[in-house]
Amino acid sequence: MSSTWGEKVKISIFGESHGNAIGVVLDGLPAGEALDFDAIALQMSRRAPGRDLSSTPRKESDVPRIVSGVLNGRTTGAPLCGMIENTNTKSGDYDNLKVVPRPGHADYTAFLRYGGWNDVRGGGHFSGRLTAPLVFAGAVCRQILQRRGVLIGAHVAGIGDQSDTAFDPSHISEDLLIALSSAYFPVIDPEAEKRMRETIEAARMAQDSAGGVVECAAIGVPAGIGDPMFGGIEPVLSSILFGIPACKGVEFGAGFGAAAMRGSENNDAYYYEEEQVKTKTNHAGGILGGISTGMPIVFRAAFKPTPSIGMEQDSVDLTTKSDAKLCVQGRHDPCIVPRAVPAVEAAAAIALINMMI
């Protein structure tokens, strides 16, 4: 592994934040799939920064160029490469990062891992910017899944101490997922958005940042998808979700909450609804033994607050081997959680296409 993921549909992500370009190769897509480029552009714009006060003002066009694998608007079955040129990158801000690493970033660990040869500008290959090719790959995969009846959508479940209404995991409508998956700040309860935006703004005003939780659902996944043990939906999905920078927790269904329940509460009782087996509750998040039950697949991913903050921080000087102070220059995203939503959805799409195709 590393920046390559998948078995049936493999993705190979490349690029660095301030390099020439970033992109992804998808190998193994089915042929003949029509691509809706507007739908791709929508997902890219959901991830792109600079839309409002809650995100960094740096402008990114992020219109992916299709390099290969598509002819006359349809997949050819050959590897699909999508590439996004990096423009408007000023690299002067980052000279000091190999000397005084930023807390919470990969500066120090990457320095050790690559013997100092890594591209540190803007975080290099560790930058959240690398979620752009991930979102692109997911935008391609979700169209293909949608044609097979699978819909994916997520919302900002929480920012700091403010939270949105959670999914009712047994009853998630197509309409809700369609609405969420096209929104820039997707929430179930519009009031929650207001409160969460205030939390972000307060962090921004304090030259600080906020973390949060994304809750995601997939409906239409037939029962019986997945494999036991390491091939289950949970391990497969988590192995791509934790690849999203800043993701520090993943839970399925009741997740950590299930740990506090008794079996009689947590077990989802079966019943028949029009010849279909369903469960009355869905604490399992639609997954038993790693395999889909036919109920909505529901999971949450926790994102730590953006490590780039305006206030002075304690760090070290790796050259003098002494303690040092650091001020992260430039303007940074006080909260990446809304922009992480399409990345989480993308991860779900890429994982599910690997298990369903």
Q: Which of residues 219-278 bind a copy of itself (CB under 8 A)?
A: 223-232, 234-236, 238-243, 245, 247-256, 258-272, 275, 277
| Backbone torsion region of residue 227, taken as left when φ is above 0, otherwise alpha when ψ lies between -120 and 50, otherwise beta | beta
Binding mask 311-330 for a copy of itself (x = CB under 8 A): x-xxxx-x--xxx-------
Q: What backbone phi and psi angles, to 5 degrees, belong to 309?
A: -130, 155
Residues 6+ apart with CB under 8 A from 152: 142, 145, 177, 181, 216, 217, 218, 345, 348, 349, 352
Q: Distance between alpha carbon 130 and the CA centroid of its chain, in Å? A: 10
CB of 17 to a copy of itself, least distance (A): 10
1 near a copy of itself (CB under 8 A): yes
The distance of closest approach from Cβ of residue 177 to a copy of itself in the complex, given in angstroms and rounded to an integer, is 22
Q: Which two tokens stand for residue 233?
A: 């939906």
Return the number of the residue (88 or 264) whose C-beta is nearest a copy of itself: 264
Question: Residue 171 or 280: which CB sits closer to a copy of itself?
Answer: 280
Of the two residues 103 and 220, which places its CB atom closer to a copy of itself in the complex? 103
Report helix angle 337-356 to 131-147, nearest 10: 50
The size of the chain, in residues, is 357
Of 178 and 273, nearer to a copy of itself (C-beta) is 273
Q: Which is nearer to a copy of itself, 102 or 142 (CB)?
A: 102
35-64 binders of a copy of itself (CB under 8 A): none
Q: Which of 56, 292, 346, 348 binds a copy of itself (CB under 8 A)?
A: 292
C-beta of 117 vs 194, nearer to a copy of itself: 117
**Residue 25 near a copy of itself by CB under 8 A:** yes
Specify the 3-state DSSP secondary structure of 345.
helix
Please count the residues of this chain forming the interface with a copy of itself, following the rule CB under 8 A: 145
What's the burial of 322, exposed, middle or buried (CB within 10 Å: 0-12/13-18/19+)? exposed
Distance CA 17, CA 308 (A): 15
Q: Is 92 in the site for a copy of itself (CB under 8 A)?
A: no
**Which of positions 165-224 make contact with a copy of itself (CB under 8 A)?**
203, 206, 208-213, 223-224
Residue 213, token pair as written in the block = 């939780």
Considering only CA atoms, which of 48, 42, 68 is closest in space to residue 60? 48
